[in-house]
Structure formats: C-alpha cells, structure tokens
Amino acid sequence: MKRLFYFALLSVGFLFLTISCAEEQDFGQIDDLSITPTLTSGIFYLEADEATINEAGALNSFYFQEINFDAFNEQYVAERLLEGVITYEIDNTTSKELRLIIEFLDEAGRPLDTEVFTIEADPSETVVRDVPYGPDGKSIDILANTSSLRVLANNLGDGTSVSSAEDPKIILRSGAEFLFELQ
C-alpha cells in the first residue's frame, strides 16, 4: 500500500513538473550581449639614486632604455581596443631638476607620441599625470600601433650637489587601464 501511495505521489509530482510554468529559453540573446572588459597593467618602473645622476654629470642623460611593448601586436586585440588611460607617477627627492621623456614607437622605431616631464628639484611634490587615449583623449591608434617605448632621463641640474633627504632618488611609475569590446 505504501508503494502505491509513493508511486501516486511521484506521478503527480512529475505531472506538475511537466506542465508547470516554464518560459521557453531564448539562446539568441548572446547576439545582443556586449562585453567590454577593462585590463589594468603596470607598464614600466624607473628608479635612479642621486649618486647615479651625479655620475652622469650636469645636463647629461643618466638613463636610457627602449622597452618592448607588444601589448597590441595581435590585430584582433588592436581592433577591439576602445580606449585607455596611462597614468604616470613621479617622485623626485634629489637636489636635481630632471626631465623625463617617454616616446611611443612603432615597429620601424618612428615616434608616434611623446610625453615630457620636467620635474622640480627636492622637495618636489608627487607628480601624477593621466593621459587618456580614445574618444576623450589622444588617438587610440597611438596605443594600437605602439611596438616599443623609449625612456630617457636627463639631469637639468649640476653634477655635484646632494639632497638632504635620507635616500634621494627619482622614481617613475607607470600603469594603464585599457577598455576592450569583445562582442
């Protein structure tokens, strides 16, 4: 008798499940989906102490480097890049006025864009600069076509003075946020 009762209860439950209110699924919604992820990344870091700057001498370059930057070398990625912001943060605790130059280069080594920073001597405040690319800034093609970055740092001061700071140095940090459209 118990078996008959459980069987009847199971049958009624199954009947309710098959005729319950269920909406037909629309798997075509993926066509309307727009995915725009944001990628955040560090780009480069420069640090030089005051002794290194003094060794280069007055009005000379104390740092030069070309950095490979193939973030957008795949055409699929470059075509979907919507916008980006590169943030530069610079701290100078040296006794030197400094100039930092960052060049964005294409595959042939030709400059696409240049950022120049003239940084006051100690005590200087932290310099923060956001550079937008895309609809509200510089051309997005600059980022999409950049193959490498050239970083140059020049001493605009003398080659002998020493800051009274505990560990005098120049620090340049850079990072970026890029917005892509995947669909």
The domain that contains 105 carries what CATH number? Answer: 2.60.120
- SS3 assignment, position 27: helix
The residue range of the domain holding 147 is: 43-73+87-131+143-172
Q: Cis omega (within 30 of 0) on the bond before 123?
A: yes
Backbone angles phi, psi at 140, to 5 degrees: -65, -20
Structural element, H or E, at residue 143: helix 140-145
User: CA–CA distance from 176 to each of 26, 32, 42, 44, 52 (Å)?
Assistant: 38, 29, 6, 10, 28
How far, in Å, CA of 105 to CA of 68, rounded? 10
- Would you state the pLDDT for residue 31? 60
How far, in Å, CA of 64 to CA of 83, rounded? 28
Comparing 11-25, 70-84, 133-147, 162-176, which segment has the lowest mean pLDDT? Answer: 11-25
- Segment 88-93 mean pLDDT: 94
The answer to whether position 179 is within a domain reads no
- Assess contact for 86 and 172: CB atoms under 8 A: no
The answer to whether position 161 is within a domain reads yes
- Would you state the pLDDT for residue 38? 78
The answer to whether position 24 is within a domain reads no
Closest to 170 in 3D by CA, of 181, 156, 183: 156
The answer to whether position 65 is within a domain reads yes
The answer to whether position 138 is within a domain reads no
When the pLDDT of each residue in the chain is averaged and rounded to a whole number, the result is 85
pLDDT reading at 139 higher than 90: yes
Radius of gyration of the chain (CA): 29
106-109 contact pairs (CB < 8 A, 24+):
106/145, 106/146, 106/147, 107/145, 107/147, 109/148
The answer to whether position 61 is within a domain reads yes
The answer to whether position 52 is within a domain reads yes
Structural element, H or E, at residue 137: none
The answer to whether position 98 is within a domain reads yes
pLDDT reading at 131 higher than 60: yes
pLDDT reading at 21 higher than 90: no
Ramachandran class of 109: left when φ > 0, alpha when ψ lies in -120 to 50, beta otherwise: left
- Would you state the pLDDT for residue 29? 59
Pair of tokens at residue 159: 């080659």
Q: Dump pLDDT digits (tens) for 37-61.
A: 777 888 889 999 999 999 988 888 9
Looking at the 3D structure of the chain, how many domains does it have?
1
Instruction: State pTM to two decimals.
Output: 0.77
How far, in Å, CA of 106 to CA of 146, rounded? 5
